[in-house]
Structure 1
Amino acid sequence: KNYSSTILSGHSKPIQSLTAHRNEGRPYIYSGSHDGHINILSGGWRLPGHSNLVAKMVVNKDGQLVTCSMDDTVRFTDLRRKDASDLLKMDFQPKCIAVGPGGYALAVCIGQLVLMKDKKKCFTLENLGFEPESAALHPGGGTAAVGGADGMVHLFSIQGNTLKDDGKTMEAKGPVTDMAYSNDGAFLAVADEKKVITVFSVADGYAVKNDFYGHHAKVVCLAWSPDNEHFASGGMDMLVYLWAVSDPDRRVKIPDAHRLHHVSGLAWLDEHTLVTVSHDASVKQWTVKF
């Protein structure tokens, strides 16, 4: 068996989102629940939260926790000071948040994309011609990839304070549910409702590197390992898979990762430690080997 698990903690409500972040070498785990609370696992204290479900969370290069919620807001919380928090009101409900270098963040809202720089809104794009569901900003800067309910990935350029449609699209196998660039920016992984993960090779003009099959239901979350050679996926089928980007057949399957509930979030603490959360309200840590 290539994995073992420990239950770390729980919320009183289903957990929807998760991220992890190293501060002075020590890993911290942040989780967000249906009631809007944001917990720090290792600290046992709560950060400023939201008044409704925390849909997505991510930590940017400046050490800010960026969260978006069904309360129509995006929050930036300074993790060093913990009380310093900026709340931005969106015109429509945000479903996903992505961060990149240069102080940029992108909120995927119902029917629109909102580009932010240095915790302020700088550009809104509407009438997209598709319903945006998920996004990822390239770690090298300059590019935003947006996944749609149309089953396509649309590329945009970030130019100063604007977002410009590059007119380039790649095809997923179904409506996009989650996406992530590898930490080195070499690959873009895209999960979809048709149970497939497609990995695109950025340097090859986003040609398909590999397709990954194995989930029995919609894939809902993705996370790249710090080694950039492996990634994890979680689905509505309660399965977690660990994949090798170069070989779809070399996979580790974790069945019943969270019993009776789907996996709602994934984060890596290091190359051999994965954290998962679920609507069962528990946080689990997995030690994995390939």
Structure 2
Amino acid sequence: MSFKKGVLYPCNPATTRGEPTKISSSKDKVVYTNGRSVIIRDLKDPGASVAYSGHVHNTTVARIAPSGYYCASADASGTVRIWDTVGEDQTLKGEYKVITGRVKDLEWDGESKRIIAVGDGRDKFGHAFMMDTGSSTGDIIGHSKTINAVSIRHQRPFRAATAADDATIVFHQGVPFKYDKTIKTHTKFVQDVRFSPSGDHFASVGSDHKIFVYDGKTGETLGEFTDSPHAGSIMACSWSPDSTSLVTSAADCIVKLWDVETKKAQTTWTLGSGVNHQQVGNTWTAGDSIISLSMSGDLNVFDKRVGDKPARVLYGPQKSITAALKTPSSASTFIVGTADGRVLSFADDYEYIGGDAHASLVAGLGVSPAGTVHSVGFDDRLREIDGDSFTPATFSTGAQPKAVAVGGDSTVFVAEVDKIEAVRSNQKISELALKYSPSAIAAAGNVVAVGGEDQKVRLYSWDGKSLTESATLDGAKGTVSALAFSPDGALLASGDSSGKIVLYDVAERKTVTTRWSFHSGRVNSLAWTADGQHCASGSLDTHVYVWSVAKPMKNIAIKNAGPGGVNAVFWVKDGELASAGADGCVRLWSVTFHA
């Protein structure tokens, strides 16, 4: 048995309310961060995306060098890592501790040799250094508060501009970079500053709703954009590839396109209302696509010729994926539920499941024989998904759900703190009080398996009206955390919090093997192949294993399959396994079973 790495479907950027989020681009790729990961997302092919997860702390900003060979990414601890973007190895070129706090922005020079990183530090707010040695290339001084943004002129003579919470912009000459002057055009926080690709100008935007443009060589203020101003804090600005236009994104949920020469607004895009539609970051790609980031994490792609709405919107999970499954219908390939209550379907790209989503973490997903998907969340709700939207029908559970399973007659079984509720058509049919705390549940036909925190698996018979206990299975070494019946219902796999998986024969009520025990952390998910000969497992230890029923000692080990832990595994089709987890990304693996 062997495996090959397949495509990656990425998460969307992480955002923070009231703060700008730095996103950037390289050719037709958008670069952003989420959690400990750096995502390089291809606009043309969602499956050609790359995730880098070498940081120990949460990442804050990433930019690809003008050469395209390296990416510099920074995190909340003040560390900058420079790594190779060519090839799959993502070789680390250098790692430097640049400031004592959070890095909020960084920028490459035009020669891809020098980097300036800025942010929130105790002794200094910025650092200029060589990418290959880390040696200093000047002093970033002149600010009294956190620096929010930095930009470097890509032509010689080099210049750098930094923007900060002290409402000032500091203009530096270089190299080595040294203080030249302080520009006091803004009256509140300056959120972004950007040099034009030509180097002739740079622009700044801030919380005072103002936009200014300056001379790129001298730092002289050339004017303010006063035509139809924004009504909220302007979070980001980006230049067109030909340096004639500027795009701004603001907290008033509006994106504006400006002509720099006339300082007039050419196009205005309004993206709804409310916090989720606040625009907190943007970038203008070399392929002439304008991308603005919503607070919700949605990436809005605009065509500058169309001034009505985004040409398309790139959706995706913004938080950890907590549940996922393959849908039997052809409408979508799979469905994922996330830690913030969102449920998304994926066919050619992500789409939100319409209607009222869960208010908090999606604890489980289950699918009926008829193809209806059911979801439970920590908002104590059982929801039903019909096609691409939630149905209005909802069931309030008696306590916080832990897991969900659907039986052969489409009855939904919800495992709660101390009981099992059986629900059909959003009506409770029966309730079974338990003397133990259930932690996992699975169903096949009229048999329901419930795993407990007491390290036991109990089998129940379902007669359409009530559950009757029929057997108790031992062998687990910890809390039972995942259960899965084989497609024919003959075998039951049980994973526990110690990483051990036990395989049971359901009819004989006996153990088939206890040798599936290579995980070192809690088993979060189990998934069988259609023929019932192999079972995949995903664990908190970040690994995925594919086990063989016929040869229990044979397995495929997919190491480090999901940074932060794998929460869900499922088979997309024969020979194609998907894993998802803490980093919000879904990864596909091509698995080959040798005869």
Is TM-score (shorter-chain normalized) higher than 0.5? yes
Q: Hey, what's the Cα distance between the residues in 2 that align with 1:255 and 1:227?
A: 25
Q: Hey, what's the Cα distance between the residues in 1 that align with 2:365 and 2:523?
A: 18
Match of 1:36 in 2: 341
Match of 2:404 in 1: 97
Q: Hey, what's the Cα distance between the residues in 2 that align with 1:85 and 1:28?
A: 23
Does 1:181 pair with 2:492? no
Q: How does 1:60-209 map to 2 (within 5 A)?
A: 60-79=368-387, 82-126=389-433, 128-138=434-444, 141-166=445-470, 168-171=471-474, 172-203=476-507, 205-209=508-512
CA spacing shift, 1:180–1:206, aligned 2, 3 Å = same
Cα deviations by residue, 1:113-149 (Å, 9 ceiling, x for unpaired): 00112332111111x12111111112xx221111100
Contact 1:243 1:250 in 2 (8 A): yes
Give the C-alpha shift of residue 173 in structure 1: 2.6
Does 1:22 pair with 2:22? no
Give the C-alpha shift of residue 186 in structure 1: 1.4
Match of 2:9 in 1: 8
Give the C-alpha shift of residue 103 in structure 1: 1.8
Contact 2:364 2:402 in 1 (8 A): yes
Structure 1 residues 111-120 or 267-276, which shifts more? 111-120
Give the C-alpha shift of residue 85 in structure 1: 4.2
Give the C-alpha shift of residue 21 in structure 1: 1.4
- Matched letter for residue 510 of structure 2: A
Q: Hey, what's the Cα distance between the residues in 2 that align with 1:83 and 1:14?
A: 21
- Matched letter for residue 117 of structure 1: R
Q: Hey, what's the Cα distance between the residues in 2 that align with 1:222 and 1:240?
A: 10
Structure 1 residues 116-125 or 68-77, which shifts more? 116-125
Q: What secondary structure does 1:63 align onto?
A: coil
The two structures, once aligned, show a CA RMSD in angstroms of 1.5
Cα deviations by residue, 1:164-217 (Å, 9 ceiling, x for unpaired): 222x200123210010100111100000112110010123x2211111111112
Does 1:264 pair with 2:567? yes
Stretches (4+) displaced over 6 A: none
Cα deviations by residue, 1:78-122 (Å, 9 ceiling, x for unpaired): 12x635342110110001000111121100011110011233211
- Matched letter for residue 33 of structure 1: T
Q: Hey, what's the Cα distance between the residues in 2 that align with 1:77 and 1:92?
A: 21
Match of 1:281 in 2: 584
- The alignment of Structure 1 onto Structure 2 pairs a total of residues equal to 282
Match of 1:220 in 2: 524
- Matched letter for residue 188 of structure 1: L
Q: What secondary structure does 1:249 align onto?
A: coil
Quick check: which one's strand share is greater? 1
Which structure has more relative contact order (CA 8 Å, sep 6+)? It is 1
5+ long unaligned stretches in structure 1? none
